[in-house]
Chains A and B, each alone.
Chain A
């Protein structure tokens, strides 16, 4: 309800700003446009704060992986169950379809991935149910008609890295797909922050010189890396 009324308020504010932008008076037009850009820049950032913090911290972990992992996986998997499991799969079934069927049969549907080279004729077929918290590995042994379920003991580092790697849509369940959609919003946000940032910089006359120095330094450094690394 709160979010709904906030969205309504924002829509009303946007409509008012749009009306001013479309008005004929140039000064009012400019002020309204500037304010709309600033507010969108800010509210988008406030909404996406948790994602940006996660991406910052997890990137730091990737960049110093040995320090955080000590040469081992960030979190270990532990066996939590061994269950009898009999299933019939069609001969030409794709690994992903087989994985989905196994998850459905075990009532564990949700975002998952399977190695595309796996075969059901092999000794073991593994489905990775990549939940955010306590992800699971389900090993199916076709010849023994059983599954072994392993669960990861989540640590802060493994949680952050796991969230960093989540992407895409087309997963079973709403939550993982919504995450993929919000990731698109993060992308839009990042591009919008850059563009609106440039716009706001141009409006601040005293910041023009050092802003230009920063932009040119950034571009120069980036090109240096691009052509030498």
Chain B
């Protein structure tokens, strides 16, 4: 076996071994998206939010988004809640969502009642996998949050690397060329036919 062949084989294999938890999570969560009706009971179950605490909190909420974000950060810090979050408000309330894989927390501030409330969600496996599937992008939290986005990039790179190394390894097996061409061309033809007729 020459060097290139061995390198391609090993890259193909080790990338797969390293990233298999992500491949499994993406596959299983896609199944729940593709058959949403079968998993309806697994998403947004009633009474899945449990109250952690509730307190009086009188404050003027900033209107502009950067200041609102800083205000939300200070509220979370004061109450010992850590992690990436997003925040939005309407006339009556402010909602701070901590986007965690396992047990997301939401903090709600009712403006008229000057009341601050924190709740935690009881999560199903399907919900957790769906959150992992859709989590993307840099700059939403600390190092670990960006670390996840980096792994998403690695997974994207891996899919392309598996394709290229896979094609190379197929080409190196002359006995499989004819059937391989039929597989590639039938896949491509099906793909193009679907794109142009959907």
Q: Which residues of A contact B (CB under 8 A)?
A: 2-3, 6, 9-10, 39, 42-43, 45-53, 55-57, 59-60, 62-65, 110-111, 131-133, 163, 166-169, 173-176, 178-180, 182-184, 186-187, 190-191, 193-194, 197-198, 200-201, 204, 207, 210-211, 214-215, 217-219, 221-222, 224-229
Contact = CB atoms under 8 A, between A and B. Distances in A.
A175 B194 contact: yes
B13 A197 contact: yes
A152 B172 CA distance: 43
Given A163-B195, A187-B31, A226-B102, A197 B16 contact: yes
19 contacts: A3-B182, A10-B179, A43-B180, A47-B187, A56-B155, A59-B136, A133-B195, A133-B196, A179-B194, A187-B27, A187-B28, A190-B23, A190-B24, A190-B26, A190-B27, A194-B24, A214-B14, A215-B17, A226-B102
A6 B27 contact: no
A175 B156 contact: no
A132 B156 contact: no
A45 B198 contact: no
What 3 pairs across the A-B complex have the smallest Cβ distances? A56-B159, A214-B17, A222-B21
Interface range, B side: 35 or more
B145 A229 contact: yes
Nearest to B33: A167
B188 interface: yes
A154 B149 CA distance: 27
Nearest to B36: A168
B148 interface: yes
B10 A207 contact: yes
Q: Which of B22, B33, B156, B169 has the most A CB atoms < 10 Å from its CB? A: B156
